[in-house]
Structure 1
Amino acid sequence: MSTNVRSRKSTTTTSKDSNSGGSTNKTTNIKKPSTLLDLLDGSSEIAIYFLMFIYVYICPYTKVEESFNLQAMHDILIHRFNINNYDHLEFPGVIPRTFIGALFVSVLSSPFQYVVEYFGGSKLCMLYVVRAVLGFIGVTALIRLKRSIARKFGLEVAVCFALVVISQFHLLFYISRPLPNVFALSLVVLAYAYWLDNRSTVSISLLTVAIFIFRSEVLILAGPVTLSMLIGKRLKFTNLLVVGVVTALLSVGVSVLIDSYFWQRTIYPEMEVLLFNTVENRSHEWGVSPFHWYFSSALPRALLLWLPLAFLSMLVDRRALEYLLPILLFVFLYSFLPHKELRFIFYALPIFSLGSAITIARIFKQFNKSFIYKLVSIGMIGIFGANLVLSSFFFHASSLNYPGGEAFNQLHQLHSECLEQPLNVHIDNIAAITGVSRFGEISQNWNYSKKERDVLLSDYDLLLAPNATSGFDVAGSISGFTRFQLLRTPPFIQVVKEPQIYIMTSKQLPLKCPKLNSKYHITHDPCGFVKAIAFCRGHKCIKLLIVFKCMNIKLCFLFVVISTFSLLGNSEIFKGAILSSDSWYLIDKFCFTEDDATVNVKVDFRNNPNATLLLYSDLDTVWGKISTGDLTCHERVMAASSQVNSVSGLNGKTVSVDQRRARWWYFAIANCDQNTGSHYQIDIPYYEIRANNDGDSFNSLISADQQGIPQSEIAFILFFLALLIFSIVSIVFLWHRNLESKVMKLFSIVLFFKILALFVCLIYWAMFLRYESGHKDINLAGTSLDLIARALFILLLLLVGQGWTISPFYGNVVSRVINVIMFVVILVMSVAIYLVPNVTFMPSKMYTFFYDTIPGYILLAFFLTIMIWFIVLCRNSYVKQVDIVKKKFFLYFGLIFTFWFLMMPVSVLVSHFLESWVRQKTVVIFNLVVDSIFYSIIAFLFRASKSNPYVHILNMDQKEKGVRLQENGAGGELQQA
């Protein structure tokens, strides 16, 4: 076996930067082989872009601080040169702002406007577009900084910087928000990049533009940064004066020229802002915070658990002092201003993140030196997971902070039949500052008013207000974030929401809009996707749609076969008897669709004539009270949406459920009479609740949150069965040649458990067709088997990543033991965290989706920990290999299956912000798709074929490791890899 060692050479030259007056070290590296670190570098950049787009999609609306730039973008895109229609002339705000940032983003967004208009999208779609474009600009600046970090501190620090940015919430969440600080932030981040590259004059130019156009406060930052450059002899004072003065004059001139046109008067906006905040000293009118607030509250919330590591970096690497000290001085100086907000020190977050990355990278470099460093490295992984969990909570709470925008959108959806009618809409101040913008004004015939004084509500047909108003009917309400609340049962913590904006209609509205239907349909299609699909259906995509429909028909037919041609029921039935010493007993929950749903209740009250069957809707004012508060029995009864008792006319009758969206309903029995004369407070010999949904003969049987899951499981059980057959054929193919592939054997076991899990779940669904109700223990068993399959697949990936049956360098004893521990822990945790609570006290009646709980988050955090260990294994296997084929294998294998580890947490995170009735089906179906893709990759990589360069097998006679089946002329022979 021959070994080729490639030497890594580098040449270093020193040149003078004529602009900065300092010396610049330029290192030219001869091209090196790609490593897993390089791939992580690229993947982390994609992840940053992806996360930013997720934030935009989930939280598209803006608040009052962002309103000027957002309305300016709207007016530039919609009204263009018709300045008289611009919003700022009617609502100029307290102080004028520059149009330059809004103009730049609008120009970049304008091509997308034609696409949106072509497909019939509304103006609301352009809100997503301008937010995404602005976010793209900011993230691109961060990526540019990250690459400068790689050149200055090394690729390891750059990758750690990206991970720190991903795991903190505020930076990526706000980077797409049209705040003046965010426009300045992009320039400041680019200035940091050039600062790291020792291109000081460019850095000073960018800081000057940010100061004189967007935010004069950047001067407090530019001072310490410039002083650092001068002390370090990276900048000449004469160059500073020339570049600073010229750039400042040009910036002021451009601002006066452009802003005077839009404001219709000679104006330099940033000068007026400076005078307002300093000479007039009125910024304190918006609140005052103590001197230490930035250090004690703002920075810990922004950087979370990474903050101590940022300070530690100044001890770990002396080069960090040059960059951290000026930023610390900036925050210290800014603390003297009484009015404080996190957005004022956004500019500090990238450099603090750099400091944290320096410390993290240094810790991992010392991984093999001692056991302590190994423990600390594992702690870093734990901090990363903890920050992800904390960021998800911040994200969830922030997504509920825009009730005005949600209400404004639903106002148009609820009254879509009246968009052509001339109606008057009044928007209360609370709604206006929590998400309402010109982008949401979909109807050209409606008159939108934001008047705050002398408002006569009788003049309006539609109203958005924080309180219900007499003379108006409440058509809907939007709840917003109030606080976090700790619970005694899973999920142990939850977000408390309360109605904040009511959507109200005038009682005279039906006269003005005769087409108005009493049953509303909310369809969210701001970007015209429905029309795009219709366009596709009418053209070349029609063949694909026909194939899909044919598959759907076949799957439905197959499901009928699986259910043994049972007679079809028409509802899900909850029935049984209740003996309880408690005064209130939760039966179960069911999610009804918005159309044609019915419920039939039959209760035998003869033993408890004072008992009551209670129906709770999922409104925060109804079920929200029950799930979050310790209420008395009478309070629980009074909170119910509907009641059925022994004298009620509803007992035994079928009642339609008329609602405007899919909604959870909770069924409970209560008996508040303490004088029952029996040991049991509740004694119901028989009850039957028959819930019927809209849909076909099967979908009508099950809860709306589960519709679509059975059909998907049928399709994927066939797919996984085909993969199992393929793997068995591969094993037999090798067996006939006296060869063995242990990877394919273990993979077959994984597929067996996956298929068994889906089959058990299908039995659960088939029971609905015969018995009109499923046995939940069967569903628990199916899910538990699926968790076992997932744990076995993780074990397979860890073994292959370590070189099992592939490389003669198959790890050491410690790493093998860690693999076993990882497998056992993930298996026990998965089954225990899911199974034990459901078997004991059935919290599934209370929560909507299991992974959207604290135990679920713990499981996902450990899942990410295993992912880090998998990356380490693949990287070590890659480094030890000499054979180029095997090096490529570990490179691609590590990259590809890292994404498999990420898919589950990502799907859960995204579904966490979807409506509660689609979360479960979204995650289940998405992960079936993901598993089918990555299982197929395993089958392809380890297929038994003489033309396959990546198949790694073991000769059963010689028991040699690292043998590869290769083509040799007409026949085949075994060659040592």
Structure 2
Amino acid sequence: MSKLLAFLIYSTIPALILLHLLASPYTKIEESPTIDAVHDILAYGIPSPRLGADAVREHFQTQYDHFRFPGPVPRSFLGPLILAAVAKPFVWLDENVDRQLLVRAVLGLFTSFALLSYAKGLQRAFGRPVGYWYLLFQASQFHVMYYASRPLANTLPFAISTWALHLLLPEPDASPDRDRRRCQTALALLTIAGVIFRAELALFLATHTLYLLLARRICIRDTITAGIAGLAVGLTATVAVDSYFYQQFPLWPELTAFVFNVIEGESSAWGVSPWWYYFASAVPRLLLNPFTYLVCIPAALIYVRTPALSLITPSVGFIAIYSFLPHKEWRFIVYAIPPLTAAAAVGAGYFWTHRAKSPTFRLLSTTIFPLSVLVTLGVSLTIFLIPSVANYPGGQALRALQQQADGSRPHISVQLSNLACQTGATLFMSRPRSLGGTTWTFDKSDTIPPHRRSSSIPSRSLFDYLIGERDWLPDSDDEDTEWEIVDSTRAFAGVRLLRPGEDPNDIGGCVVEDTIAAVTGELGRAAYQLTRDILRGYVTRGYWVVLPLEEKLWILRNKKRVPLAAAALGSGTRKDPSTI
């Protein structure tokens, strides 16, 4: 394989991670503890202990968001601190840089570095074809590429665990002592990540430790040494840093989260899934390409059993044990996806290296598997990515308001509803790059619609704009209302099947159609509509699958505080309340 082709394959991972970042720059509520913590560190700095305990506490309580809006459990500040430290030099170079995009890019590139290191380790351990097939399979998976730059509580530990897994891969020329030291380092890293960031990594660590002991790559003493070292480093770091940021000593955030979610069972309030959910639903969706788990992994277990078992057994064991917890989300088991993908790559690599010995192997390795990668990547970039981009009405509404509001005003205040906060509105958006010296402040403490307020609640007239859901709209017959609707934003509303005779224009917008128009202009929209109508008329007999959009959030102007000219958001979408 030429060096150029190898370079292109290795470049695919970081390129796709950045593509997903640029296509979907906003965040959701699950990411807000991390992204808002990074914002506060960059915006307000870290107070020096020399200021005194009272001054430090006052700084945090008045400036930092986690004091004003604490979550159900504390989350470690070590991740945000690392991201802010890496991003800070770029902020010094360009004060107007999009900081949220910068921070997410730092996280995404860190994740891509871990994935590429893992691929290099596979290449050394099992040969170049395995490393290349791993990169192709991994790049075509939507969830890993899309969430690699997202500041979820699982993303940074995912990168650390992937780097640790790279150290567990065998090296052909390594001595037993070197292999043992690499295993110890990997176990220490997993311990650190579990202690600081995610407690579920304790199970991931346990299954890998047990397998290494059974394979006699380490001994009990090595395990204890690695565990003590990892526990000492992780616990010292998290207690020291987080006790300071939360002004509560001693504080171990992940222990608090573990007690809340597992011991007290509070995580079940977010939903309960059956035992088989991870194996029957989450893992196939994460791997995405059906050939990986229906053909390649079984082939690896048949033809290359020892390497395949070393990759599969600890990961499947981790998923099986974790399945006993009632609340399940795919991100809780994402750490097992690189080794499972690697096992599929081992199977595909075997077919490739033995393609001359069997027509079936040749067909699979030269035609079917490459086509499956292309099809899976296409599905990832269309069926998965396009609807995901349309899932952030809060960020889109706030950005639309900031881009078209009066930039000459020194201060603009906005009241945000729950949905706006949950779907993209973050503290980083209080520094829009295009509005000169305008200062934006957001308030998210009040979730009662304007027309349902009682006299005991402070007046919303203090705000220039509101961004809220349908129940925030003023009554159509209320002539004395101080609020006027000036714009609205739409979001993905599921999947719908158009039947014969139904007009596509009646669904209120289509994700695919709008995305094509955004990229190619109205000519592209017209071409899509023509193609759709032809296929409906001559191929599908009138049926057509659409991804509809519906209005989710509205921007309301305070008529007493903001002149009409400054509030005309210009896209022709202003609506009278009576028409909605």
Pair in the same fold by TM > 0.5 = yes
> Which of 207, 212, 226 is the aligned partner of 1:243?
226
- 8 Å CA contact retained: 2:36, 2:427: yes
Quote the residue 2:451 is aligned against.
none
Quote the residue 1:426 is aligned against.
415
- What do residues 64-83 of structure 1 show as CA deviations (whole Å, max 9, x unaligned)? 11110100100111100243
Between the aligned partners of 1:163 and 1:250, the Cα distance in structure 2 is 36
Residue 414 (structure 2) pairs with residue 449 (structure 1)? no
Q: How do residues 789-800 of structure 1 correspond to structure 2 at under 5 angstroms? A: none
- 8 Å CA contact retained: 1:299, 1:307: no
Residue 167 (structure 2) pairs with residue 194 (structure 1)? yes
- Secondary structure of 1:498 counterpart: strand
Distance change >3 Å, CA 154–CA 428, structure 1 → 2:
same
- 8 Å CA contact retained: 2:487, 2:569: no
Q: How do residues 485-634 of structure 1 correspond to structure 2 at under 5 angstroms? A: 485-486=496-497, 489=532, 490=535, 492-510=544-562, 513=563, 516=566, 518=568, 520=570
- What do residues 147-183 of structure 1 show as CA deviations (whole Å, max 9, x unaligned)? 1000111010000000001111111111111112111
- 8 Å CA contact retained: 2:487, 2:554: yes
1:73 maps to amino acid = V
Between the aligned partners of 2:193 and 2:144, the Cα distance in structure 1 is 18
CA RMSD of superposed structures (Å): 2.2
Between the aligned partners of 2:496 and 2:166, the Cα distance in structure 1 is 42
- Secondary structure of 2:548 counterpart: strand
Between the aligned partners of 2:484 and 2:281, the Cα distance in structure 1 is 43
Percent identity of paired positions between Structure 1 and Structure 2:
31
Unaligned runs of 5+ in 2: 47-58, 171-178, 433-437, 448-456, 475-480, 500-531, 537-543
> Which of 353, 374, 382 is the aligned partner of 2:362?
374
- 8 Å CA contact retained: 2:129, 2:352: no
Distance change >3 Å, CA 519–CA 248, structure 1 → 2:
closer
TM, length-normalised to structure 1: 0.48
Between the aligned partners of 1:400 and 1:301, the Cα distance in structure 2 is 20
**Pairwise CA distance, 1:499:** 1.1
Between the aligned partners of 1:96 and 1:424, the Cα distance in structure 2 is 28
> Which of 478, 482, 502 is the aligned partner of 2:489?
478
- Secondary structure of 1:92 counterpart: coil
Between the aligned partners of 2:214 and 2:354, the Cα distance in structure 1 is 33
Between the aligned partners of 1:455 and 1:345, the Cα distance in structure 2 is 45
**Pairwise CA distance, 1:458:** 4.1
Bigger Cα displacement from structure 2, 78-87 vs 53-62: 78-87
Quote the residue 1:764 is aligned against.
none
Quote the residue 2:201 is aligned against.
218
Greater helix fraction, Structure 1 or Structure 2: 2
> Which of 60, 65, 77 is the aligned partner of 1:99?
77
Between the aligned partners of 2:279 and 2:324, the Cα distance in structure 1 is 12
- What do residues 901-943 of structure 1 show as CA deviations (whole Å, max 9, x unaligned)? xxxxxxxxxxxxxxxxxxxxxxxxxxxxxxxxxxxxxxxxxxx
- 8 Å CA contact retained: 1:460, 1:506: yes
Between the aligned partners of 1:239 and 1:366, the Cα distance in structure 2 is 39
**How many aligned residue pairs are there?**
483
- 8 Å CA contact retained: 2:416, 2:444: yes
**Pairwise CA distance, 1:429:** 0.4
- Secondary structure of 1:337 counterpart: coil
Quote the residue 2:518 is aligned against.
none
2:413 maps to amino acid = N
- Secondary structure of 1:368 counterpart: helix
Distance change >3 Å, CA 427–CA 156, structure 1 → 2:
same
- 8 Å CA contact retained: 2:114, 2:159: yes
1:390 maps to amino acid = V
**Pairwise CA distance, 1:519:** 6.0
- 8 Å CA contact retained: 2:195, 2:231: yes
> Which of 255, 265, 268 is the aligned partner of 2:252?
268
- Secondary structure of 2:94 counterpart: helix
1:451 maps to amino acid = S
> Which of 310, 324, 329 is the aligned partner of 1:322?
310
- 8 Å CA contact retained: 2:164, 2:186: yes
**Pairwise CA distance, 1:469:** 1.0
- 8 Å CA contact retained: 1:41, 1:158: no
Quote the residue 2:18 is aligned against.
53
Residue 307 (structure 2) pairs with residue 307 (structure 1)? no
TM, length-normalised to structure 2: 0.79
- Secondary structure of 2:494 counterpart: strand
1:222 maps to amino acid = L
**Pairwise CA distance, 1:480:** 1.0
**Pairwise CA distance, 1:376:** 2.6
**Pairwise CA distance, 1:404:** 0.7
Distance change >3 Å, CA 279–CA 518, structure 1 → 2:
closer
1:382 maps to amino acid = L
**Pairwise CA distance, 1:261:** 1.1
Residue 128 (structure 2) pairs with residue 150 (structure 1)? no
Residue 482 (structure 2) pairs with residue 469 (structure 1)? no
Bigger Cα displacement from structure 2, 478-487 vs 496-505: 478-487
- 8 Å CA contact retained: 1:311, 1:355: no
**Pairwise CA distance, 1:279:** 2.1
Quote the residue 2:429 is aligned against.
440
- Secondary structure of 2:466 counterpart: strand
Residue 282 (structure 2) pairs with residue 298 (structure 1)? yes
Between the aligned partners of 2:86 and 2:552, the Cα distance in structure 1 is 35
2:63 maps to amino acid = N
Larger Rg: 1
**Pairwise CA distance, 1:339:** 0.5
**Pairwise CA distance, 1:484:** 2.5
Quote the residue 1:610 is aligned against.
none
> Which of 51, 59, 66 is the aligned partner of 2:31?
66
Residue 64 (structure 2) pairs with residue 86 (structure 1)? yes
Quote the residue 2:135 is aligned against.
162
Bigger relative CO (Cα 8 Å, ≥ 6 apart): 2
Unaligned runs of 5+ in 1: 1-34, 522-593, 595-616, 620-638, 642-977
> Which of 352, 364, 371 is the aligned partner of 1:364?
352
Between the aligned partners of 1:233 and 1:371, the Cα distance in structure 2 is 39
Distance change >3 Å, CA 518–CA 224, structure 1 → 2:
closer
